[in-house]
Amino acid sequence: MIRVALLGAGRIGQVHAKSITANDDCQLVAVADALPQAAQDLAAQIGAEVRSIDEILADDSIQAVLIATSTDTHSDLIERATAAGKAVLCEKPVDLSLDRALAALKAAEGTGQPVMVGFNRRFDPNFAALKAAFDGGEIGKGELLSITSYDPAPPPVSYVKVSGGLFRDMMIHDFDMACWVFGGPPARVTATGSAIVDPEIGAAGDVDTAAVTLQWDDGRIGVIKNSRRAGYGYDQRIELLGSKGLLSAKNVLENTVEKISAEGASAAKPVYFFLERYMRAYEIEWTAFIDALKSGDTMPVTLREGVAALACAEAATKSAQTGETVAITADMLGPA
Ligand SMILES: NC(=O)c1ccc[n+]([C@@H]2O[C@H](COP(=O)([O-])OP(=O)(O)OC[C@H]3O[C@@H](n4cnc5c(N)ncnc54)[C@H](O)[C@@H]3O)[C@@H](O)[C@H]2O)c1
């Protein structure tokens, strides 16, 4: 039985608590949060203890921690937890700063402790099936990947201000999907972004609508489109054109009923947001972490891959600001 502690009892921490308690190979023993009430409420719900992060890290019987605190704490906690001999699953993004994330990567790799980054979309059964079909050679060589990712509504501007910006906070998932599908990071990134949904987002220095092209050295192209507002729900689709065919993973709809009448045809809209769409993915993600821990296999999403997605986000942020294409260089991806 793997003993686990959860750091962060907010929105996503509560989701992870359900996955941890649903897994028979582990036990959620402690919860920590800077807000005592948040930690107490969640700990009471799941029958765990409230402890400080220091107490958790000093407890040698705890083998793994799940970091679901705010992004600006991730690198510090990855370093402290791995130095204390814990395996880590850390939420995305690794950090708000690529330099800080690279330092955490170096420190964590130095300890030899396994670290996984929470890119839950890889574990979505639809996207996983697309990847398996592609890896199985079913459409030949990948040539053009298109990722659509629209949120139903923008977050509050207070969140936008501390989020690191759309490319680091939101498109980071899509950068990871692109790197994952094509087996590694692109060579260059070209981005454009606007604040056309909410002018206050623009006033806070961020964008709410963005399009990015990624190019690999052999000519493969990725196109990512993000918007903070899709009035019809959570729009999450992938299309991959290969030399022998096309794979596409469509939206998950509220129901499967289609109506056809003399007026036309209609279907249900996509499910509302990430909690509705990805609940199953979060559970599979946690199982994948525990299984890798038990077997000693490489984590299914490594810290290096988390850094690569952040390198794309940093390049896209710079490209959108300057209008230039930005290269992803080896030094942005971690020590050799
Ligand atoms: N993978 C996903 O789909 C997904 C979805 C949502 C959020 N996230 C990521 O998860 C992280 C948390 O997001 P959230 O939406 O749950 O935020 P949240 O604000 O709801 O929760 C964060 C919690 O961390 C606590 N916290 C902050 N600093 C702390 C510290 N130093 N020590 C202890 N506790 C601390 C806060 O008190 C809060 O309860 C972010 O990095 C975010 O990017 C990922």
Query: Which tens digit of pLDDT belongs to each residue from 122-139?
Result: 999 999 999 999 999 999
Handedness of CA 298, 58, 19, 182 (dihedral sign): negative
Last residue of a domain, one of 120, 138, 167: 120
Instruction: Please tell me whether residues 179 and 249 are part of one structural domain.
Output: yes
Predicted pLDDT of residue 287: 98
- Residue 44 carries which side chain, given as an amino acid letter? A
For atom 18 of ligand 1, which residue has the closest CA? 10
How many angstroms separate the Cα of 181 from the Cα of each of 45, 102, 178, 276, 290? 38, 23, 5, 24, 23
Q: Share the mean pLDDT of the chain.
A: 97
Tell me if 301 is assigned to some domain: no
Tell me if 300 is assigned to some domain: no
Contact, 67 vs 85, CB < 8 A? Answer: no
Tell me if 235 is assigned to some domain: yes
Contact, 198 vs 154, CB < 8 A? Answer: yes
Tell me if 294 is assigned to some domain: no
Q: Which two tokens stand for residue 85?
A: 């001999």
Instruction: Please tell me whether residues 202 and 260 are part of one structural domain.
Output: yes
Residue/partner pairs of 289-296 with CB below 8 Å, 24 or more apart:
289/64, 289/87, 289/89, 289/116, 290/2, 290/23, 290/25, 290/26, 291/25, 292/114, 292/116, 293/2, 293/63, 293/64, 293/87, 293/114, 294/2, 294/25
Residue listed under structure tokens 């991806």: 333
Instruction: Please tell me whether residues 133 and 183 are part of one structural domain.
Output: yes
Give me ligand 1 centre to Cα 199, in Å. Answer: 26
Domain with 40, as residue range(s), is: 2-120
Tell me if 298 is assigned to some domain: no
- Mutational test site, ligand 1, from 42, 55, 70, max ligand atoms within 8 Å of CB: 70
Last residue of a domain, one of 90, 105, 120: 120
**Residue range 12-36: average pLDDT?**
97
Model pLDDT for residues 72-119, shown as the tens digit of each residue: 999 999 999 999 999 999 999 999 999 999 999 999 999 999 999 999
Pairing state between β 142-150 and 115-118: unpaired
Instruction: Please tell me whether residues 83 and 137 are part of one structural domain.
Output: no
Give me ligand 1 centre to Cα 324, in Å. Answer: 33
Atom of ligand 1 nearest to the CA of 13: 16
Give me ligand 1 centre to Cα 78, in Å. Answer: 14
Q: Which two tokens stand for residue 181?
A: 């599908």
Predicted pLDDT of residue 143: 98
Tell me if 297 is assigned to some domain: no
Tell me if 274 is assigned to some domain: yes
Predicted pLDDT of residue 255: 98
Predicted pLDDT of residue 185: 98
Instruction: Please tell me whether residues 222 and 325 are part of one structural domain.
Output: yes
Instruction: Please tell me whether residues 218 and 153 are part of one structural domain.
Output: yes
Instruction: Please tell me whether residues 112 and 127 are part of one structural domain.
Output: no
- CATH of residue 234: 3.30.360.10
Atom of ligand 1 nearest to the CA of 163: 43
Which residues line ligand 1 at a C-beta cut-off of 6 Å? 7-13, 32-35, 38, 53, 68-71, 73, 91-92, 118, 120, 274
Q: What is the DSSP string of 154-218?
A: PPPHHHHHHS--HHHHTTHHHHHHHHHHTTS--SEEEEEEE--S-HHHHHTT--SEEEEEEE-TT
Closest CA to 207 of 145, 163, 238, 270: 163
Instruction: Please tell me whether residues 223 and 140 are part of one structural domain.
Output: yes
- CATH of residue 89: 3.40.50.720
In which band, very low, low, confident or very high, does the pLDDT at 257 lie, cut at 50, 70 and 90? Answer: very high
Predicted pLDDT of residue 82: 98
Instruction: Please tell me whether residues 12 and 69 are part of one structural domain.
Output: yes
In the chain, pLDDT over 70 holds for what percent of residues?
100
Q: Which two tokens stand for residue 15?
A: 């989701």
Q: Which two tokens stand for residue 229?
A: 């507002």
- Mutational test site, ligand 1, from 6, 7, 11, 89, max ligand atoms within 8 Å of CB: 11
Tell me if 296 is assigned to some domain: no
Model pLDDT for residues 132-159, shown as the tens digit of each residue: 999 999 999 999 999 999 999 999 999 9
SS3 315: helix
Q: Please, is 319 exposed, middle or buried when counting C-beta atoms within 10 Å of its C-beta (0-12, 13-18, 19+)?
A: buried
**Residues forming a β-bridge with 3:** 27
Q: Which two tokens stand for residue 166?
A: 């759309």
Last residue of a domain, one of 99, 120, 141: 120
For atom 19 of ligand 1, which residue has the closest CA? 10
Predicted pLDDT of residue 71: 94
Instruction: Please tell me whether residues 239 and 324 are part of one structural domain.
Output: yes
Instruction: Please tell me whether residues 171 and 88 are part of one structural domain.
Output: no
Instruction: Please tell me whether residues 249 and 214 are part of one structural domain.
Output: yes
Model pLDDT for residues 165-178, shown as the tens digit of each residue: 999 999 999 999 99
Model pLDDT for residues 205-249, shown as the tens digit of each residue: 999 999 999 999 999 999 999 999 999 999 999 999 999 999 999
In which band, very low, low, confident or very high, does the pLDDT at 336 lie, cut at 50, 70 and 90? Answer: confident
Predicted structure pTM score? 0.97
Evaluate if residue 57 carries a pLDDT over 90.
Answer: yes
292 vs 78: CA distance, rounded Å = 18
